[in-house]
Structure formats: structure tokens, C-alpha cells
Structure 1
Amino acid sequence: MTKADIVNEIAKNTGIDRATVYKTLEAFMDSVVTSLAREENVYLRGFGSFIVKKRAQKIARNISKNTTIIIPEHNTPAFKPAKDFTDAVRKI
């Protein structure tokens, strides 16, 4: 399912025009990205959580050049689904 499919589905189910739904969806995604960039988690009860995971510094190997490189610690976004979410998917 693409973003356009989601917009069409919401517009069909709510009767709101597609342009408004698209702007709302874009604003939601921007809010999530902005919050995660500030290292603030986003919790949506019954759906799941968008969280920031901290990855520790590690040493990796470049096998083709036979060298080692250091990958610095960094943050990565993650999604943790709610129990209701996972239960609904498992029933399918």
C-alpha cells in the first residue's frame, strides 16, 4: 500500500477531500520525523510507538581492502507495534 492508496482509503471512508487528507498525512509524518530527530519518542496508543534506538560505536571490516573501520555511535528510528496491532496481523 502506498501513500496515495492510504490517502484514497481515508478520503473514501471519511468523506473528506483527498487534498485535505494528503496535507494531514504529510503533517503527521513531518511531526513524527521532527520528534524523532529531537530524540523524542512518539506513542500512538493501540497502534504502536516510533522510537529512537541508540547504536553503539563498533568496529567493522572492509574485506575487499582488508582494513578495519570504526562506525561511530548513531541513532536509528524504529517502530514497535502495539499488542492489538500484532494480534490483528497474526490473525490474518
Structure 2
Amino acid sequence: MNKQELIDAVATATGSSKSITGEAIDAVIGAITKAVVKGDTVQLVGFGSFSQGKRAARAGRNPATGEAISIAAANTVKFTAGKAFKDAVNDGQL
């Protein structure tokens, strides 16, 4: 499912227009992004939580040449699925 398909599904489920639904989804994504960039954790009970993680610097290899390279440390985004979401996925139904 891509973003437009998500907008269509939510608009159908709520009976709202696609343009208003698209703006709402953009606002939710923007709010989650801003919070995680600041270092906050966003918890959506039953769905999961978004947080910021860190990846340490490490040594790697260029697969084309085999040359050793250093990979810089980086911030990452972590998503941890909530219990209800995991259970729905494992049961194959909502």
C-alpha cells in the first residue's frame, strides 16, 4: 500500500474527503517526524512506538572492489510494534 492508497482507504472508512484525509495524514507524519528528530519517542498504544536510535561507526568493505572502508556513525529511526499490532499480524486478521 502506498500513500495514495492509504489516503483512499482512510477516506472511505471515515466518509471524509480525500483532500482532507490527505492533509490529516500529512500532519500526522509531520508531527511524528518532528518529535523523533527532537529525540522524543512517539507511542501509539496498540500500534507501536517510533524513536531515535544510534548506529556506531564501523569498518566495512566495498563489495565491488573489496577495499576496506570506514562507515560513519549515524542516527536511525526505530519502530517497535505494539502488542495488538503484533497479535493482528500473527493471527492474520484484525
Q: TM-score range by the shorter chain?
A: 0.7 to 0.9
Paired residues, number: 92
1:66 and 1:4 map into 2 onto residues whose CA distance is: 41
Give the equivalent residue in structure 1 for 2:30: 30
Structure 2 residue matching 1:76: 3-state secondary structure: strand
Unpaired segments ≥5 residues, structure 2 = none
In the superposition, the TM-score normalised over structure 1's length comes to: 0.87
Please list every run of 5 or more consecutive structure 1 residues that lacks an aligned counterpart in the other structure.
Answer: none
Partner of residue 11, structure 2: 11
Identity %: 30
- Code of the aligned partner of 2:60: A
* Whole-angstrom CA distance in 1 between matches of 2:22 and 2:57: 39
Pick closer, same or farther for the CA change 1:71–1:14 going to 2, 3 Å: same
Secondary structure at the aligned position of 2:39 is classed as coil
Aligned-residue offset at 1:62: 2.3
TM superposition shift of 1:64? 4.0
Residue identity opposite 2:40 in structure 1: E
TM-score calculated relative to the size of structure 2: 0.86
Give the alignment's Cα RMSD to 1 decimal: 1.5
Aligned mates of 2:23, 2:49 — CA distance in 1: 22
1:56-78 Cα offsets, whole Å, 9 max, x none, are 11111225444322212111112
